[in-house]
Structure 1
Amino acid sequence: MIPAPPQLDKPPKTAAPIHSLLARRWSARAFADAPVEIEQIISLLEAARWSASSRNEQPWHFVVARKGIDSDFDRLLGSLSDSNRIWAQRAPLLILAVARTTFRSNGKPNRHAQYDVGQAVANLTTQATAIGLTVHQMGGFEGDTVRNLFAIPNEYDPLAVLAIGFRDHPDSLPTDLRDRELQTRQRLDLSSFVHSGTWNNPSALLHDHSSAQLREVNSQGARQ
């Protein structure tokens, strides 16, 4: 395992503690010139394999391409948008995530397929973080191109390309990308998407949590 340099960690500011594997995950673009070993790749795929899915359909499929080993790497890299290709070309591993959009049992549409593949990729990403890898998920690729390149049937939907590897220092990137790499991570406030009662009405639990935090701060101040 190649540990990420300390300066590349960007811990988020959270309203409550979250697991370190989740806190350490972020979508880096700077990849070190180091291969991902076969055992590590299999561990990522096993993590995806054991994800939850509707009716246990397991609609996820993956095209795995190793740089300098699999011819699929250059083909998959070529399907990316220019803005993604410029940095993703340094990643040692690309994976195309695909969803089967129909149930195997009856051929009817599976409206949960994309959701389930997203869960599988989240599992994969968490496993990657646990073993010192970083995953950058991309929607900027030509879906029709990869469908033709890999003869993907119509009932399957290419969803994302994952660039995977060990982090490198941001200085290895072009200036504009380096600056983006160093930016502070941002997220919407919980009150913007956690609701109760009516839509867009922030959940009361958020107010209760803030009040409890304030009481704790005041209590600590009184004890000093």
Structure 2
Amino acid sequence: MPDLEHVKHAVTHLPVERTILHRWSPRAFSDKPVSDQDLQTIFTAGAWAASSQNEQPWRFLLGRKGDPTYEKIFNSLVPGNQLWAGSAPVLFAAFAKKTFTKGGAPNRTALHDVGAACQNMALEATALGLHIHGMGGFDPVTLTAYFAVPADFEPAACWALGYLGDPANLPDKYQGLEQAPRERRPLSDVVFAEHWEAAATL
């Protein structure tokens, strides 16, 4: 991982793993291509996420800039995301299989498990000096129609992947966001005990 510090790298009072603190979601990407080896490594990291009954419900559509898959994913994004995502050399879409393969029962943790896989991928990308930015702003009907996705699969998110670019090339509305420090809620707001919203003693 590059040693360069960035304003987006988080600072905590406790010794959290550095890769986690350095993971963030830029909108400015360079046009440097991502190697096949790095893509294989990132998707392998995703494949080793935990999942209910080891179902591994994640599926991905991978597009490289200039190919038809990339264009279809890009065209499914909302206009606000299209303003910046087209600078990334890789776009991919993540899907969750809604039922268990064995028996066909609904898998209520499928989206959770796909999220875990994507987080693994984000951390692996960070370790390789890359970044990914997840997007909920896309049209799932358009995306599934483009690729004839089976009804048993639900679109979870679209992602931009690449090397960090120059935020000066972003539309004005996004430039400040690339330089603003990141924040998180205090643990007392999210970790409870005894009853809801009663902060746990940590």
Q: TM-score, normalised by structure 1?
A: 0.87
1:196 corresponds to which of 185, 193, 197: 193
Aligned to 1:209: none
- Give how far 1:7 is off: 6.2
Instruction: Please say if 1:182 is aligned against 2:179.
Output: yes
Partner of 1:121: 118
- From the superposition, tell whether residues 98 and 57 of structure 1 become closer, same or farther in structure 2 (CA, over 3 Å): same
Number of residue pairs matched by the alignment: 202
Whole-angstrom CA distance in 2 between matches of 1:27 and 1:203: 30
Aligned to 2:63: 65
**Structure 1 equivalent of residue 45 of structure 2:** 47
Aligned to 1:26: 24
2:152 corresponding residue in structure 1: 155
Partner AA of 1:200 in structure 2: E
What are the within-5 Å matches in structure 2 for residues 52-131 of structure 1? 52-68=50-66, 70-131=67-128
| TM-score of the pair, normalised by structure 2 | 0.96
Q: Looking at CA atoms only, which structure, 1 or 2, has the larger radius of gyration?
A: 1
1:204 partner SS: coil
TM-superposed deviation, 1:117: 0.4
* Deviation of the 1:13 alpha carbon: 3.0
Q: Which has the higher contact order (CA 8 A, sep 6+)?
A: 2
**RMSD of aligned Cα (Å):** 1.4
Decide whether the 8 Å contact of 1:77 with 1:88 is kept in 2. yes
CA distance in 2, matches of 1:93, 1:183: 25
Change (3 A) 1:7 1:23: closer
Give the distance between the partners of 1:43 and 1:9, measured in 2 at CA.
27
Aligned 8 A contact 2:91 2:160 in 1? yes
The percentage of aligned residue pairs carrying the same residue is 40
Aligned match for 1:171, one of 168, 171, 178: 168
What's the offset of the Cα at 1:16?
A: 1.3
Q: Structure 2: where are the runs of 5+ without partners?
A: none
CA–CA separation in structure 1 for the residues paired with 2:168 and 2:6: 11
2:140 equivalent in structure 1: 143
Indicate the residue corresponding to 1:17 in structure 2. Answer: 15
C-alpha displacement at 1:9, in angstroms?
4.5
Q: Which runs of 5+ in 1 are unaligned?
A: 206-224
- Measured after TM superposition, the shift of residue 27 of structure 1 is 0.6
Q: Is the 2:8–2:180 contact (alpha carbons within 8 Å) kept by the matching residues of 1?
A: no
**Which amino acid in structure 1 is aligned with residue 138 of structure 2?**
F
Instruction: State how far apart, in whole Å, the 2-side matches of 1:66 and 1:8 are.
Output: 27
